[in-house]
Amino acid sequence: MKNRYIASFEAAQIAEKQIPQFKAGDTVKLGVEIKEGEKKRIQLFEGIVIARSGNGVDATFTVRKIGANSIGVERIFPLYSESLKSFEVVRKGRVRRAKLHFLRGLKGKAARIKELKK
């Protein structure tokens, strides 16, 4: 059970950030702030959400993209992080699982996810 002061602080953090609805299988484009010495810049990271976990302020999600030379790159992002500057859902995926860790073993066309059509 959380202290009411901590709960109100966490509620204030959640209220100020606008996060679109997304789930595992969706392709997202994230603008991540990177600090290099004194400079700050925003780098885009686009990939498939393979997992979500946690709730409230502690929520995280894992994004996987295929980098150079067909090497998979995964990053775990806190949902309400200050370093996430932009968040866009590029396409919705049609999946039947909440965790898509099986994509780690697939390559090329086998690793594609069908798009959800409405």
pLDDT for the residue numbered 16:
79
> How does the average pLDDT of the chain come out, rounded?
90
> What is the rounded CA–CA span in Å between residue 70 and residue 108?
8
Q: What is the pLDDT of residues 22-31, one digit of tens each?
A: 999 999 999 9
What pTM did the predictor assign? 0.86
Q: What is the pLDDT of residues 2-57, one digit of tens each?
A: 788 888 888 888 887 888 999 999 999 999 999 999 999 999 999 999 999 998 88
Buried b (16+ CB within 10 A) or exposed e, 4-31: eeeeeeeeeeeeeeeeeebebbbbbebe
Nearest CA among 35, 36, 83, 79 for reference residue 57: 79
